[in-house]
Amino acid sequence: MTLKRRVDFLAHLLKATLRRHHRELIPVFAPHIPDEAVVIDVGAHAGQFSKLFARMAPGGRVYAFEPSAYARSILTRSLAFNRLAHVTVIPMGLSDAPAELILRTPIKAHGGLGFGIAHFGEDGQDARDTMDQVVPLTTLDAFAEQEGLSRLDFLKADVEGWEVNVLKGGLRTLAKHRPALFLEISDASLARAGSKPTDIWDILRPLGYRALKAPEFTPVDGYSGVQDYLFVAG
């Protein structure tokens, strides 16, 4: 690891460990995350959402899926420092089928890693070099069955365009438990994975989900720009 990346790692670690982000979302999430909730954080990154979920559900369980070794090295240390033992880190990604894929982490102009925008699929929009890593993938349905989940209250996915694949691999689980879903949706990122925003609505509408767009969380009938969307069943 270069000196630059060592310095960046320490900065990323301090930020992940000491800062508390997304607290403005607590009132939005609270109706869907009771104290004993089971939450899945797909693309946990450095753990800011996982920390939030763990504090909202002290009697529950958070499963943090993070396939990037770099991000995971920060995530696990942050969780340990904050004594959040009820967060289980899963060193895999979620998709529509079990597989191994190349996870591409962009290298910034100054040599640092853009680990927050690591992605699957070719990125014709970005000419930057990448650090590539072969990572394992499973499906939400397979994981729920293996883990014997008796409930799933909330699922967050920020996976740089792989959201459709995550949903396709969890149809049985979504239909059974009907968790609230918090998804980052970008048409450009989805296109990299061969998907489009309408695919998400086509998957979730038949399951009875309706969408609300951040930051005001107003109801929307479909995609209306790059943003986080909360999907609620019923």
pLDDT digits (tens, 9 = 90+) for 42-51: 999 999 999 9
Q: What is the pLDDT of residue 124?
A: 54
pTM of the model as a whole: 0.90
| Residue 13 maps to a domain | yes
Strands of the 87-90 sheet, one edge to the other: 87-90, 61-65, 38-42, 154-157, 180-185, 227-233, 209-213, 218-220
Q: What proportion of the chain, given as a percentage, has pLDDT over 70?
A: 89
pLDDT at 177 over 70: yes
Q: 100-109, 112-121, 131-140, 199-208: which has the minimum mean pLDDT?
A: 112-121
**Domain extent at residue 86:** 3-97+140-233
Give tens-digit pLDDT for 154-172: 999 999 999 999 999 999 9
Average pLDDT estimate for 32-38: 98
212 Rama sector, left if φ>0, alpha if ψ -120 to 50, beta otherwise: beta
C-alpha R_g of the chain = 17
**CA 105 to chain CA centroid, nearest Å:** 16
3-state secondary structure of 224: coil
**Residue 207: DSSP 8-state:** G
| Residue 131 maps to a domain | no
Give tens-digit pLDDT for 123-141: 555 567 877 889 999 999 9
d(CA 15, CA 232): 31
What's the chain's average pLDDT? 91
CATH label of the domain that carries residue 13:
3.40.50.150
| Residue 214 maps to a domain | yes
| Residue 119 maps to a domain | no
The total domain count for the chain is 1
More confident residue, 142 or 120: 142
| Residue 218 maps to a domain | yes
Q: What is the pLDDT of residue 203?
A: 98
Q: 6-10, 130-134, 225-229: which has the minimum mean pLDDT?
A: 6-10
| Residue 21 maps to a domain | yes
| Residue 60 maps to a domain | yes
Q: Nearest 5°: phi and psi at 83?
A: 55, 45
d(CA 163, CA 18): 29
Average pLDDT estimate for 6-22: 74
Contacts 24+ apart (CB under 8 A), 23-26: 23/52, 25/52, 26/52, 26/56
| Residue 158 maps to a domain | yes
Dihedral angle, C-alpha 57, 63, 52, 61, nearest 10 °:
10
d(CA 230, CA 22): 14
